[in-house]
Amino acid sequence: MRVDLFDFDLPSDRIALRPASPRDSARMLLVQGAALSDHTVRDLPRLLRAGDMLVFNDTRVIPAQLEGRRGEAKIGATLHKREGPRDWRAFIRNAKRLRDGDSIDFGNGVSAVASQRAEDGSFLLSFDGEEPVELLLERAGRMPLPPYIAGKREADERDAEDYQTMFAREKGAVAAPTAALHFTPSLMHALDAAGIGHETLTLHVGAGTFLPVKAEDTEEHKMHSEWGRIDDATAQRLNEVRAKGGRIIAVGTTSLRLLESAASEDGRIEPFEGDTDIFITPGYGFRAVGGLITNFHLPRSTLFMLVSALMGREVMQAAYAHAIRNGYRFYSYGDASLLLPA
Protein backbone atom coordinates (compact mmCIF):
# COMPACT_ATOMS: atom_id res chain seq x y z
CA MET A 1 0.00 0.00 0.00
CA ARG A 2 1.07 3.61 -0.54
CA VAL A 3 2.58 5.08 2.62
CA ASP A 4 0.96 8.47 1.98
CA LEU A 5 -2.43 6.86 2.63
CA PHE A 6 -1.45 6.89 6.33
CA ASP A 7 -0.61 10.58 6.51
CA PHE A 8 -2.46 13.24 8.51
CA ASP A 9 -1.78 16.73 9.82
CA LEU A 10 -0.99 17.03 13.52
CA PRO A 11 -0.55 20.42 15.21
CA SER A 12 2.71 20.46 17.18
CA ASP A 13 0.91 21.61 20.34
CA ARG A 14 -0.84 18.21 20.50
CA ILE A 15 2.45 16.46 21.36
CA ALA A 16 2.53 15.73 25.10
CA LEU A 17 5.80 16.56 26.86
CA ARG A 18 4.76 15.16 30.26
CA PRO A 19 2.34 12.38 31.22
CA ALA A 20 -1.04 12.97 32.83
CA SER A 21 -1.01 13.09 36.63
CA PRO A 22 -2.26 10.86 38.08
CA ARG A 23 -1.54 8.49 35.23
CA ASP A 24 -5.00 6.94 34.99
CA SER A 25 -6.62 10.38 34.63
CA ALA A 26 -5.53 10.46 30.98
CA ARG A 27 -8.30 10.76 28.40
CA MET A 28 -9.23 7.72 26.35
CA LEU A 29 -11.03 7.55 23.02
CA LEU A 30 -13.15 4.43 22.59
CA VAL A 31 -13.32 3.25 18.98
CA GLN A 32 -15.89 0.43 18.86
CA GLY A 33 -16.48 -0.67 15.32
CA ALA A 34 -16.82 2.76 13.69
CA ALA A 35 -18.42 4.46 16.73
CA LEU A 36 -16.42 7.00 18.74
CA SER A 37 -16.93 8.07 22.36
CA ASP A 38 -14.84 10.03 24.86
CA HIS A 39 -13.78 8.61 28.22
CA THR A 40 -10.85 8.46 30.63
CA VAL A 41 -8.57 5.52 31.32
CA ARG A 42 -10.33 5.05 34.68
CA ASP A 43 -13.46 4.02 32.74
CA LEU A 44 -11.81 0.80 31.51
CA PRO A 45 -13.49 -1.51 34.08
CA ARG A 46 -16.93 -0.66 32.68
CA LEU A 47 -15.87 -0.55 29.02
CA LEU A 48 -14.43 -4.07 29.03
CA ARG A 49 -16.23 -7.31 29.90
CA ALA A 50 -15.76 -9.75 32.75
CA GLY A 51 -13.60 -12.55 31.40
CA ASP A 52 -11.48 -10.29 29.20
CA MET A 53 -7.71 -10.46 29.64
CA LEU A 54 -5.33 -7.50 29.42
CA VAL A 55 -1.80 -8.37 28.28
CA PHE A 56 1.02 -6.05 29.36
CA ASN A 57 4.65 -5.84 28.31
CA ASP A 58 6.94 -6.08 31.36
CA THR A 59 10.07 -4.81 29.65
CA ARG A 60 12.06 -2.17 31.50
CA VAL A 61 13.67 0.80 29.77
CA ILE A 62 17.43 1.09 30.23
CA PRO A 63 19.38 4.39 30.04
CA ALA A 64 20.36 3.69 26.44
CA GLN A 65 21.19 7.23 25.25
CA LEU A 66 24.94 7.88 25.31
CA GLU A 67 27.09 10.91 24.50
CA GLY A 68 30.79 10.41 23.88
CA ARG A 69 33.88 11.31 21.89
CA ARG A 70 36.15 9.71 19.35
CA GLY A 71 39.14 11.99 19.61
CA GLU A 72 37.78 15.51 19.09
CA ALA A 73 34.57 14.34 17.40
CA LYS A 74 31.34 14.24 19.40
CA ILE A 75 29.48 10.95 18.92
CA GLY A 76 25.92 10.22 20.06
CA ALA A 77 24.67 6.64 20.37
CA THR A 78 21.22 5.21 20.95
CA LEU A 79 21.30 1.49 21.70
CA HIS A 80 18.45 -0.39 20.08
CA LYS A 81 19.10 -4.15 20.15
CA ARG A 82 21.30 -6.42 22.22
CA GLU A 83 23.39 -8.80 20.14
CA GLY A 84 25.60 -10.35 22.82
CA PRO A 85 26.60 -10.10 26.50
CA ARG A 86 28.63 -6.94 25.79
CA ASP A 87 27.41 -6.06 22.30
CA TRP A 88 24.62 -3.69 21.31
CA ARG A 89 23.52 -2.49 17.89
CA ALA A 90 23.25 1.31 18.05
CA PHE A 91 22.09 4.21 15.91
CA ILE A 92 24.88 6.77 15.75
CA ARG A 93 24.73 10.54 15.55
CA ASN A 94 27.67 12.05 13.63
CA ALA A 95 28.33 8.60 12.13
CA LYS A 96 30.45 10.11 9.33
CA ARG A 97 33.20 10.67 11.94
CA LEU A 98 33.20 7.01 12.99
CA ARG A 99 34.96 4.03 11.38
CA ASP A 100 35.11 0.32 12.13
CA GLY A 101 37.54 -0.28 14.99
CA ASP A 102 37.22 3.21 16.49
CA SER A 103 36.90 3.50 20.26
CA ILE A 104 34.30 5.85 21.77
CA ASP A 105 34.79 7.31 25.25
CA PHE A 106 31.39 7.86 26.91
CA GLY A 107 32.85 9.19 30.17
CA ASN A 108 32.61 7.81 33.71
CA GLY A 109 34.94 4.98 32.76
CA VAL A 110 32.65 3.70 30.00
CA SER A 111 33.96 3.04 26.49
CA ALA A 112 33.11 0.86 23.52
CA VAL A 113 34.58 -0.18 20.17
CA ALA A 114 32.49 0.39 17.03
CA SER A 115 32.34 -2.19 14.24
CA GLN A 116 30.09 -3.78 11.62
CA ARG A 117 28.50 -0.65 10.18
CA ALA A 118 25.14 -1.56 8.63
CA GLU A 119 23.25 -0.12 5.67
CA ASP A 120 20.98 1.85 8.03
CA GLY A 121 24.03 3.62 9.48
CA SER A 122 23.99 1.72 12.77
CA PHE A 123 27.13 0.23 14.34
CA LEU A 124 27.78 -2.68 16.65
CA LEU A 125 29.16 -1.31 19.94
CA SER A 126 31.26 -3.72 22.03
CA PHE A 127 31.62 -2.36 25.56
CA ASP A 128 35.03 -2.59 27.24
CA GLY A 129 35.71 -4.10 30.65
CA GLU A 130 34.07 -6.81 32.70
CA GLU A 131 31.29 -4.97 34.51
CA PRO A 132 27.77 -5.81 33.29
CA VAL A 133 26.77 -3.41 30.54
CA GLU A 134 23.64 -2.49 32.54
CA LEU A 135 25.86 -1.06 35.29
CA LEU A 136 27.90 0.88 32.75
CA LEU A 137 24.74 2.40 31.31
CA GLU A 138 23.53 3.41 34.76
CA ARG A 139 26.74 5.44 35.08
CA ALA A 140 26.96 6.98 31.62
CA GLY A 141 23.56 6.68 29.96
CA ARG A 142 20.40 8.77 29.90
CA MET A 143 16.76 7.83 29.53
CA PRO A 144 16.16 7.57 25.76
CA LEU A 145 13.17 9.85 25.30
CA PRO A 146 11.51 9.71 21.87
CA PRO A 147 12.90 12.27 19.41
CA TYR A 148 9.64 14.24 19.31
CA ILE A 149 10.01 14.89 23.05
CA ALA A 150 13.82 15.10 23.20
CA GLY A 151 13.73 17.71 20.45
CA LYS A 152 11.68 20.00 22.69
CA ARG A 153 13.29 19.46 26.10
CA GLU A 154 16.10 17.59 27.84
CA ALA A 155 15.47 14.36 29.73
CA ASP A 156 15.45 14.95 33.49
CA GLU A 157 15.07 13.12 36.79
CA ARG A 158 11.27 12.94 36.43
CA ASP A 159 11.62 10.90 33.25
CA ALA A 160 13.45 8.14 35.10
CA GLU A 161 10.10 7.36 36.77
CA ASP A 162 7.63 8.78 34.24
CA TYR A 163 9.02 6.69 31.36
CA GLN A 164 8.66 3.33 33.17
CA THR A 165 5.42 1.41 33.51
CA MET A 166 4.28 -0.11 36.79
CA PHE A 167 4.96 -3.54 35.22
CA ALA A 168 8.60 -2.79 34.23
CA ARG A 169 10.75 -5.70 35.34
CA GLU A 170 12.88 -7.20 32.55
CA LYS A 171 15.69 -4.79 31.61
CA GLY A 172 16.35 -4.39 27.92
CA ALA A 173 14.04 -1.87 26.22
CA VAL A 174 15.19 1.43 24.76
CA ALA A 175 11.64 2.71 24.45
CA ALA A 176 8.73 2.30 26.86
CA PRO A 177 5.59 0.29 26.02
CA THR A 178 3.74 3.55 26.53
CA ALA A 179 0.12 2.36 26.59
CA ALA A 180 0.84 0.78 29.97
CA LEU A 181 2.06 4.11 31.39
CA HIS A 182 -1.61 4.92 32.08
CA PHE A 183 -2.10 2.09 34.57
CA THR A 184 -1.94 2.48 38.36
CA PRO A 185 -2.36 0.05 41.27
CA SER A 186 -5.82 1.46 42.02
CA LEU A 187 -6.94 0.97 38.41
CA MET A 188 -5.62 -2.60 38.43
CA HIS A 189 -7.59 -3.26 41.61
CA ALA A 190 -10.76 -1.95 39.94
CA LEU A 191 -10.14 -4.13 36.87
CA ASP A 192 -9.64 -7.19 39.06
CA ALA A 193 -12.89 -6.43 40.90
CA ALA A 194 -14.68 -6.24 37.54
CA GLY A 195 -13.46 -9.72 36.57
CA ILE A 196 -10.91 -8.47 34.06
CA GLY A 197 -7.62 -10.33 34.34
CA HIS A 198 -4.10 -9.52 33.27
CA GLU A 199 -0.95 -11.30 32.11
CA THR A 200 2.52 -10.14 31.13
CA LEU A 201 4.93 -10.98 28.34
CA THR A 202 8.30 -9.46 27.42
CA LEU A 203 9.23 -7.60 24.25
CA HIS A 204 12.34 -5.45 24.41
CA VAL A 205 11.29 -2.42 22.41
CA GLY A 206 13.98 -1.06 20.10
CA ALA A 207 14.65 2.47 18.88
CA GLY A 208 13.57 1.31 15.44
CA THR A 209 10.01 1.91 16.58
CA PHE A 210 10.63 5.65 16.09
CA LEU A 211 12.18 5.40 12.63
CA PRO A 212 10.15 7.07 9.89
CA VAL A 213 8.92 5.00 6.98
CA LYS A 214 11.02 6.36 4.12
CA ALA A 215 9.68 4.00 1.45
CA GLU A 216 6.84 5.05 -0.83
CA ASP A 217 5.15 1.65 -0.52
CA THR A 218 4.71 -0.48 2.62
CA GLU A 219 6.14 -3.53 0.83
CA GLU A 220 9.49 -1.75 0.56
CA HIS A 221 9.81 -0.98 4.28
CA LYS A 222 12.06 -3.20 6.40
CA MET A 223 11.12 -3.57 10.06
CA HIS A 224 13.82 -3.81 12.72
CA SER A 225 13.64 -6.99 14.75
CA GLU A 226 13.06 -7.08 18.51
CA TRP A 227 13.50 -9.89 21.04
CA GLY A 228 10.47 -11.23 22.89
CA ARG A 229 9.27 -14.07 25.10
CA ILE A 230 5.96 -15.67 26.07
CA ASP A 231 6.43 -18.58 28.43
CA ASP A 232 4.46 -21.81 28.27
CA ALA A 233 2.31 -21.13 31.35
CA THR A 234 1.30 -17.68 30.11
CA ALA A 235 0.43 -19.01 26.66
CA GLN A 236 -1.71 -21.72 28.23
CA ARG A 237 -3.64 -19.26 30.41
CA LEU A 238 -4.28 -16.96 27.45
CA ASN A 239 -5.62 -19.84 25.40
CA GLU A 240 -7.94 -20.80 28.25
CA VAL A 241 -9.35 -17.26 28.27
CA ARG A 242 -10.11 -17.43 24.54
CA ALA A 243 -11.63 -20.91 24.92
CA LYS A 244 -14.07 -19.48 27.48
CA GLY A 245 -15.10 -16.64 25.19
CA GLY A 246 -12.97 -13.90 26.74
CA ARG A 247 -11.12 -11.38 24.63
CA ILE A 248 -7.36 -10.91 24.62
CA ILE A 249 -6.85 -7.14 24.86
CA ALA A 250 -3.25 -6.15 24.11
CA VAL A 251 -2.01 -3.17 26.10
CA GLY A 252 0.25 -1.52 23.55
CA THR A 253 1.33 -2.36 20.04
CA THR A 254 4.39 -4.17 21.42
CA SER A 255 2.21 -6.71 23.25
CA LEU A 256 0.01 -7.07 20.17
CA ARG A 257 2.91 -7.71 17.81
CA LEU A 258 4.38 -10.41 20.05
CA LEU A 259 1.01 -12.09 20.58
CA GLU A 260 0.40 -12.18 16.83
CA SER A 261 3.95 -13.45 16.24
CA ALA A 262 3.29 -16.32 18.63
CA ALA A 263 -0.17 -17.23 17.31
CA SER A 264 -0.80 -20.19 15.03
CA GLU A 265 -3.16 -20.04 12.06
CA ASP A 266 -6.11 -21.08 14.23
CA GLY A 267 -5.38 -18.35 16.81
CA ARG A 268 -3.76 -20.55 19.43
CA ILE A 269 -0.95 -18.72 21.24
CA GLU A 270 2.21 -20.81 21.38
CA PRO A 271 5.20 -20.27 23.68
CA PHE A 272 7.67 -17.94 21.99
CA GLU A 273 11.27 -16.85 22.54
CA GLY A 274 13.31 -15.07 19.91
CA ASP A 275 13.24 -12.19 17.46
CA THR A 276 10.21 -10.85 15.65
CA ASP A 277 10.04 -8.31 12.85
CA ILE A 278 6.32 -8.65 12.19
CA PHE A 279 4.94 -5.73 10.14
CA ILE A 280 1.15 -5.42 10.34
CA THR A 281 -0.64 -3.43 7.65
CA PRO A 282 -4.25 -3.38 6.37
CA GLY A 283 -5.20 -6.76 5.00
CA TYR A 284 -3.53 -8.64 7.86
CA GLY A 285 -5.74 -11.30 9.45
CA PHE A 286 -5.54 -11.01 13.23
CA ARG A 287 -5.30 -14.38 14.95
CA ALA A 288 -5.09 -13.87 18.70
CA VAL A 289 -6.01 -10.34 19.66
CA GLY A 290 -9.57 -9.09 20.16
CA GLY A 291 -8.75 -5.48 21.04
CA LEU A 292 -5.99 -3.00 21.72
CA ILE A 293 -5.24 -0.18 24.15
CA THR A 294 -2.72 2.19 22.61
CA ASN A 295 -1.65 5.83 22.47
CA PHE A 296 -1.96 8.09 19.42
CA HIS A 297 0.78 7.52 16.86
CA LEU A 298 2.87 9.39 14.32
CA PRO A 299 1.61 10.07 10.79
CA ARG A 300 2.98 7.61 8.19
CA SER A 301 4.28 5.35 10.99
CA THR A 302 4.19 1.56 11.16
CA LEU A 303 2.10 1.91 14.32
CA PHE A 304 -0.61 3.96 12.61
CA MET A 305 -0.60 1.30 9.89
CA LEU A 306 -1.08 -1.36 12.59
CA VAL A 307 -4.12 0.33 14.16
CA SER A 308 -5.53 0.88 10.66
CA ALA A 309 -5.16 -2.85 10.03
CA LEU A 310 -7.10 -3.60 13.21
CA MET A 311 -9.93 -1.09 12.80
CA GLY A 312 -9.87 0.02 9.16
CA ARG A 313 -7.94 2.96 7.73
CA GLU A 314 -10.95 5.24 7.25
CA VAL A 315 -12.15 4.55 10.78
CA MET A 316 -8.76 5.45 12.24
CA GLN A 317 -8.43 8.56 10.10
CA ALA A 318 -11.82 9.67 11.48
CA ALA A 319 -10.79 8.74 15.04
CA TYR A 320 -7.57 10.75 14.83
CA ALA A 321 -9.38 13.73 13.31
CA HIS A 322 -11.82 13.58 16.27
CA ALA A 323 -8.91 13.36 18.72
CA ILE A 324 -7.16 16.37 17.19
CA ARG A 325 -10.35 18.47 17.16
CA ASN A 326 -11.10 17.60 20.77
CA GLY A 327 -7.68 18.30 22.23
CA TYR A 328 -6.36 14.79 22.87
CA ARG A 329 -2.65 14.62 23.66
CA PHE A 330 -0.49 12.55 21.29
CA TYR A 331 2.48 10.16 21.39
CA SER A 332 4.40 8.53 24.25
CA TYR A 333 3.23 10.78 27.11
CA GLY A 334 -0.16 11.42 25.55
CA ASP A 335 -3.69 10.07 25.92
CA ALA A 336 -5.00 6.60 25.09
CA SER A 337 -7.40 4.88 22.77
CA LEU A 338 -9.33 1.65 23.27
CA LEU A 339 -9.81 -0.10 19.93
CA LEU A 340 -12.46 -2.80 19.75
CA PRO A 341 -13.13 -4.19 16.26
CA ALA A 342 -16.73 -4.90 15.26
- The candidate with the shortest Cα–Cα distance to 181, out of 319, 289, 335, is 335
Reported as type and span, the H/E element at residue 303 is helix 302-311
- The candidate with the shortest Cα–Cα distance to 65, out of 181, 148, 150, is 150
Contacts of residues 70-78 at CB distance under 8 Å and 24 or more positions apart, as own/partner, are 70/97, 70/98, 70/102, 70/103, 70/104, 70/105, 73/97, 73/98, 75/104, 77/104, 77/106, 77/112, 77/123, 77/125, 78/144, 78/174, 78/207
Q: Identify whether the C-beta of residue 132 lies closer than 8 Å to the C-beta of residue 138.
A: no
Q: Identify whether the C-beta of residue 22 lies closer than 8 Å to the C-beta of residue 14.
A: no
What confidence tens digit (pLDDT) does each residue in 152-188 have? 888 888 998 999 999 999 999 989 999 999 999 999 9
List Cβ neighbours of 13 (8 Å cut-off, separation of 6 or more).
none
**CA 79, CA 212: separation in Å to the nearest integer?**
17
b (16+ CB within 10 A) / e for 161-193 = ebbbbbbbebebbbbbbbbbbbbbeebbebbee
Q: What is the pLDDT of residue 206?
A: 84
Residue 243 has pLDDT above 70, yes or no: yes
Domains and CATH numbers, the chain: 3-61+161-340 (3.40.1780.10), 65-141 (2.40.10.240)
Q: How many residues does the chain have?
A: 342
Q: What is the pLDDT of residue 190?
A: 98
Q: What is the pLDDT of residue 339?
A: 98
Q: What is the pLDDT of residue 210?
A: 63
Reported as type and span, the H/E element at residue 135 is helix 133-140
What confidence tens digit (pLDDT) does each residue in 82-117 have? 999 999 999 999 999 999 999 999 999 999 999 999
**CA 201, CA 63: separation in Å to the nearest integer?**
21
What percent of the chain stands above pLDDT 90? Answer: 87
Residue 211 has pLDDT above 70, yes or no: no
What percent of the chain stands above pLDDT 70? Answer: 99
Residue 209 has pLDDT above 70, yes or no: no
Mean pLDDT along residues 224-237: 95
Q: What is the pLDDT of residue 150?
A: 83
Q: Which residue has the higher pLDDT, 266 or 151?
A: 266
Helices (H), the chain: 44-47, 133-140, 147-150, 157-162, 185-193, 232-243, 253-262, 302-311, 313-325
Mean pLDDT along residues 279-288: 96
pLDDT confidence band for 129 (50 / 70 / 90) = very high
